[in-house]
Structure 1
Amino acid sequence: MRLANVWNLGIKELRGLLRDPILLILIVYSFSLSIYTSAKAMPETLNKAAIAIVDEDGSQLSARIAGAFYPPYFTAPNMISTAEMDARMDAGLETFALTIPADFQRDLLAGRQPVIQLNVDATRMTQAFTGTGYVQSIVTYEVNEFLSRHRDAPQMPADLVLRARFNPNLSQSWFGAISDVITSITMLGIVLTGAALIREREYGTVEHLLVMPVTATEIMVAKIWSMGAVVLLASALAIWVVVEGLLAVPIPGSLPLFIFGTALQLYAITALGIFLATVAGSMPQFGLLLVLVFLPMQVLSGTMTPRESMPEVIQTIMLAAPNTHFAILAQAILFRGAGLSVVWPQLLALAGIGTGLFAFALFRFRAFLR
């Protein structure tokens, strides 16, 4: 294999990428706006949930309950009538509608157990799931305070001291931003190499390559290093500009170590992209293969949900996928500040899996060129 051929062929791939505006837009979006929106769009904590209250009691206790809902968890409650409630929820104006019945305070003081009705718009899944517990806790707390005639912290038999490590503010944006960087690296690594090979077929330049004094290995290595370099540069800029800059997410670990791990991940995943491109006959077929391969790999890798929550057989099977080891490595470095002494097994696994995928893809690529 001649390095001059590999270099020149790689430069040719970069020039071809520069002439493809759709892929350029995808790269910029994946490592900028996609990361920012993933960090900001779907907070796990309740934020500005719309609530309405039907106060049929008009008592001191019902006023206290209504006054307990305030920003940032809820918007200021809208005081409505029973006749308005269904229409407003049908129109999607409120996520929660709390109905306090008549004589609620009197029945409570008399030792009875009055019932408060909470209507929830379950189509707003995240707010509905989280906010129901918030509403129940607020109502229970206000009722207990009213009955005890004083505001006091509940007495617990044991004192629980919470120390949140690595994310002391429990900010969901920290996790969302870094997780999207990991996802974008894997997705773009497959897409760019696969598209580069399919572009050769669609433009008819594969025949030109076959009559040139270059080998299949040189062609494949050129596609891998050029497209991998683009993703590697874009991911480094995304962490520096978007994650650390715009989102102000602190990175406790070593960025050079993460970049090295990313290079090994791209070594494996770009080879997989070339293999998929040799199987697919066109770009639409490649897109279908990408969905069938990328989504299961990403969902079961531990990026979105912990691997420990999956069946053991799935955990064992997914050890053959590079995503699994890359997710463990990236989360350890970027979240917990792990060093080489912690992540070296994942680095070795990525190198081994990448070499296997490279050899398999090269065998298929040689058959593709014949």
Structure 2
Amino acid sequence: MNARRLWAIVLKELRQMRRDRITLAMILGIPVFQLILFGYAINLNLRGLPAGIVDQAHTSASRALVMDMLATGVVEPSERADTPEQLMTLLRKGRISVGIVIPRDYERRRAEGRAVAQILVDGSDTAVQSAARQLAQVPITDDTLPDLRAPPTSTPPEGHIRVVAFYNPERRSAVNIVPGLIGVILTMTMVLFTAIAIVRERERGNMELLIATPLTRSELMVGKVLPYVIIGLVQTCLILALGVWLFAVPVRGWLVDVFVAAILLIVANLALGLLISTKAKSQFQATQMMIFVFLPSILLSGFMFPFAGMPKVAQWIAEVLPLTHFLRLIRGVMLRGAGLWELWPDVLALVGFTAVMMTVAIAQFRKRLD
């Protein structure tokens, strides 16, 4: 082995990396990005869960109990409700994760030592269940002791506050993970397929043939997308069938809503992939850029880590990602039985994302070789 020739190859590779800005960005960006995400944005201790409170007692003691719960920082009032039925509607729509109910006979229950409050939890996320159970362990003050003659204690008596988990009372992880896997797999495959679509035409020499056709830019881009919509639906059917068969994952909502939500995510990811394809110079670059999109999607969307535990800046970034909105849709439809019309903000977010990405991709694409 000749050291001089070996050194020449090393220099050649280093110079090529220096010229390839995308590769250089991956080398430097991925370690920094992961460090910031895992060290700053990822937080397993949930705080500020959106909650609704129904205090039917309206006494000083009931208000003190509510203040004790809010002081834990686990929940944050976000919606008004007057009855437990309204709390259940808000839970189904995904507008709250926790509902606190204090009955009218709170004082009598407190004097008799019975359960004085109830916490309704969206159990489709097991992390939310665990966080909500902390509320049942709030320290008891003199105002909230079931027995006013007993000395103050920091441990509530058994049954003091009851936690009722809906949609996944068994706390099975598969119930939460399998619907999310539909979005993760569709994001990975759809973005990758279309990210290399235009680049592959250039590398195989087919771009000359496409340029010679009377196709407009819009027709070419939309034609590239449509076949992958069918592929995405096939993947959705496969994951759903295996999830129901192997893991007994429920589908409480309309099956049509499940596929409509899947189509919204598929089209959004395909539009994003086309935009990447117009910027990439090679299939390798397109794959690198796809990873740059897929990594924050899987980490910030709420699939792996609780969304409520992230700081506000990370949540703002996550709101731009299609997977974040799809997870809310698919879990709402499959696990809570909600309709898409009840989850309209996330539907509009996916439609808007698709429109913007497709418009920019068409504007960036040029039917020429240079």
Instruction: Return the TM-score normalized by structure 2.
Output: 0.55
What is the CA-CA distance between 1:353 and the residue it aligns to? 1.4
Counterpart residue number, 2:295: 295
Instruction: Note the 1:223-262 alignment, pairs <5 A.
Output: 223-239=224-240, 241-262=241-262
Amino acid paired to 2:191? I
How many angstroms apart in 2 are the aligned matches of 1:215 and 1:157? Answer: 70
Show CA shifts across 1:128-187 (max 9, x none): xxxxxxxxxxxxxxxxxxxxxxxxxx9935445443311121111222222212100111
Show CA shifts across 1:82-122 (max 9, x none): xxxxxxxxxxxxxxxxxxxxxxxxxxxxxxxxxxxxxxxxx
Amino acid paired to 1:219? L
Amino acid paired to 1:361? A
Amino acid paired to 1:181? I
Show CA shifts across 1:61-96 (max 9, x none): xxxxxxxxxxxxxxxxxxxxxxxxxxxxxxxxxxxx
How many angstroms apart in 2 are the aligned matches of 1:349 and 1:247? Answer: 30
Show CA shifts across 1:253-286 (max 9, x none): 2221121122122222111101112222222211
Asked whether the equivalents of residues 274 and 365 of structure 1 are also in contact (C-alpha less than 8 Å), the reply is no
Counterpart residue number, 1:365: 365
SS in 2 for 1:208: helix
Asked whether the equivalents of residues 332 and 338 of structure 2 are also in contact (C-alpha less than 8 Å), the reply is yes
What is the CA-CA distance between 1:190 and the residue it aligns to? 0.3
How many angstroms apart in 2 are the aligned matches of 1:159 and 1:369? Answer: 72
Instruction: Note the 1:94-173 alignment, pairs <5 A.
Output: 156-173=157-174
Counterpart residue number, 1:203: 204
SS in 2 for 1:366: coil
Amino acid paired to 1:318? A
Q: 1:369 to 1:274 in 2, by over 3 A?
A: farther
Counterpart residue number, 2:183: 182
How many angstroms apart in 1 are the aligned matches of 2:368 and 2:207? Answer: 10
Instruction: Note the 1:293-332 alignment, pairs <5 A.
Output: 293-332=293-332
How many angstroms apart in 2 are the aligned matches of 1:322 and 1:335? Answer: 20
How many angstroms apart in 2 are the aligned matches of 1:297 and 1:250? Answer: 25
Tell which structure's C-alpha radius of gyration is larger: 1
SS in 1 for 2:170: coil
Instruction: Return the TM-score normalized by structure 1.
Output: 0.55
How many angstroms apart in 2 are the aligned matches of 1:327 and 1:363? Answer: 30
Q: How many residues align?
A: 216
Q: 1:369 to 1:330 in 2, by over 3 A?
A: farther
Identity of aligned residues (%): 33
What is the CA-CA distance between 1:296 and the residue it aligns to? 0.8
Gaps of 5+ in 1: 1-153
Asked whether the equivalents of residues 328 and 346 of structure 2 are also in contact (C-alpha less than 8 Å), the reply is yes
Instruction: Note the 1:250-289 alignment, pairs <5 A.
Output: 250-289=250-289
Show CA shifts across 1:191-230 (max 9, x none): 1112332321221111110001111111100111111221
